[in-house]
């Protein structure tokens, strides 16, 4: 029997993983305790996704377990044992800003929760592929010290810099920078996932995401950039842009494209606890101003926003992921969804929900 364990299975990446792997595995075991509603309020709950997934996929079995609960998790790993062929770990406290409110909650979920899952994988299904969704925040604010220039609607890196062509690659240091409390807890988890690959020779991989996006995101003020932006565009709710003249650039990858990366790794895992930058890259990126213009175009509504000079602490001014390393390991992979496609999908999904 082939079983996949997916943590955070009702969130953006988790639910996309459930849908993606449902016909590739005999059973999908989901772990999600709707902690997102605790972080960001009831409007960010992912419970709605649980109902859709259980109805749609007969082989999907959800468990309401907190990833900090080692004993609760162990029961599952004991029950399914070596039938577990894949662990996709996406459950997290995902917000840069929220983490500072409760550093202990943030760290125990992001770091200790990841360690629980790694250790249980080692003990009960050591050959399983273990995929971890890390973040570009592990690089802290180092990208802000790149030579940037101001254009009409966005910041851009100087064209003579080696990162100009494809973006920031995995050689960027993770040391000596302001990560945010969230970035630091993700660094701890990221390094542990690498270490289980190196030290225990397990099939682990770290995917350092840029902005991850898609119609299943339960967007909230503090997390889910494009989803929350589109929500405001539809409802005309007020939005605040924090700093950098609204020209800060993020790359955006559709959840399906990211999970398709997981699938390529699953089929032919590279050894050694690999790290991959995983984002929209040069293919899909936008500044705040550009994203707002796209939302206005799609909804036909003028966007209701104001601007404040104070940027969010440690926030990136310009971040574009270089995915060349992943492409070199998995040349058959490619993007399926452009930024415009993704925003259209988010709009269609949100129209009926907000």
User: Which residues in this chain contact ligand NAD in the complex, by CB under 6 A?
Assistant: 8, 10-14, 31-36, 46, 66-68, 90-92, 94, 109, 113, 133, 135, 209, 211-212, 217
Least distance to ligand NAD, CB of residue 208, Å: 8
**In sequence order, which ranges of 27-91 are alpha helices (DSSP H)?**
35-40, 47-56, 70-80
**Cα–Cα separations (whole angstroms), residue 144 to 135, 156, 317, 338:** 16, 11, 6, 26
The residue among 113 and 269 lying less far from ligand NAD, judged by its C-beta, is 113
Helices (H) and strands (E) in the chain, counts: 12, 15
The residue among 190 and 203 lying less far from ligand NAD, judged by its C-beta, is 190
Residue 223: what are its φ and ψ, rounded to 5°?
A: -165, 140
Least distance to ligand NAD, CB of residue 32, Å: 5
The residue among 5 and 149 lying less far from ligand NAD, judged by its C-beta, is 5
Cα separation of 19 and 268, whole Å?
Answer: 21
The residue among 140 and 209 lying less far from ligand NAD, judged by its C-beta, is 209
Sign of CA dihedral 255, 261, 266, 270: negative
Least distance to ligand NAD, CB of residue 228, Å: 11
The residue among 74 and 301 lying less far from ligand NAD, judged by its C-beta, is 74
Q: Which two tokens stand for residue 15?
A: 């639910």
Least distance to ligand NAD, CB of residue 11, Å: 2
The residue among 273 and 280 lying less far from ligand NAD, judged by its C-beta, is 280
The residue among 90 and 299 lying less far from ligand NAD, judged by its C-beta, is 90
DSSP for 241-306 reads EESGGG--EEEEEEHHHHHHHHHHHHHSPPSS-EEEEES-TTTSEEEHHHHHHHHHHHH-PPP-EE
Least distance to ligand NAD, CB of residue 123, Å: 19
Least distance to ligand NAD, CB of residue 44, Å: 8
Residue number, nearest CB to ligand NAD = 11
Least distance to ligand NAD, CB of residue 269, Å: 20
Beta strands in the chain (DSSP E): 3-7, 27-31, 60-63, 84-89, 129-135, 148-150, 155-157, 203-209, 211-213, 239-242, 249-254, 274-278, 285-287, 305-308, 318-319
Whose tokens are 């399906």? That residue is 256
């Amino acid at each position: 029997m082939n079983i996949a364990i997916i943590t955070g299975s009702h969130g953006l990446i988790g639910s996309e993983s459930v849908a993606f792997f449902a016909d590739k595995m005999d059973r999908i075991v989901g772990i999600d305790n709707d902690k997102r509603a605790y972080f960001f309020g009831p409007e960010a709950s992912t419970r709605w996704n649980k109902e859709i997934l259980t109805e749609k996929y007969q082989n999907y079995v959800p468990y309401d377990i907190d990833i900090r609960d080692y004993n609760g998790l162990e029961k599952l790993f004991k029950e399914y044992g070596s039938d577990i062929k894949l662990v996709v770990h996406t459950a997290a406290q995902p917000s840069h800003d929220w983490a500072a409110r409760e550093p202990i909650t943030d760290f125990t979920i992001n770091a200790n929760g990841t360690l629980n899952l790694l250790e249980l994988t080692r003990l009960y299904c050591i050959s399983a592929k273990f995929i971890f969704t890390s973040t570009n925040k592990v690089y802290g604010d180092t990208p802000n010290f790149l030579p940037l220039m101001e254009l009409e609607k966005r910041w851009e890196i100087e064209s003579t810099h080696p990162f100009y062509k494809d973006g920031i690659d995995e050689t960027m240091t993770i040391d000596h920078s302001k990560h945010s409390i969230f970035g630091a807890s993700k660094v701890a988890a990221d390094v542990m996932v690498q270490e289980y690959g190196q030290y225990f020779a397990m099939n682990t991989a770290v995917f350092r995401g840029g902005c991850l996006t898609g119609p299943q995101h339960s967007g909230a003020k503090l997390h889910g950039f494009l989803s929350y932006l589109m929500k405001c565009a539809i409802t005309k709710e007020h939005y605040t842009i924090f700093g950098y003249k609204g020209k800060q650039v993020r790359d955006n990858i559709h959840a399906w494209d990211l999970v398709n990366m997981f699938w390529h790794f699953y089929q032919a895992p590279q050894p050694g606890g690999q790290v991959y930058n995983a984002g929209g890259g040069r293919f899909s990126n936008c500044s705040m101003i550009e994203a707002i213009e796209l939302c206005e175009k799609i909804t036909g509504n003028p966007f209701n926003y104001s601007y404040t000079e104070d940027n969010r602490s440690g926030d990136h001014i310009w971040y574009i992921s270089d995915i060349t390393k992943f492409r070199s390991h998995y040349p058959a992979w490619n993007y399926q969804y452009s930024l415009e496609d993704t925003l259209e999908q988010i709009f269609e999904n949100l129209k009926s929900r907000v």
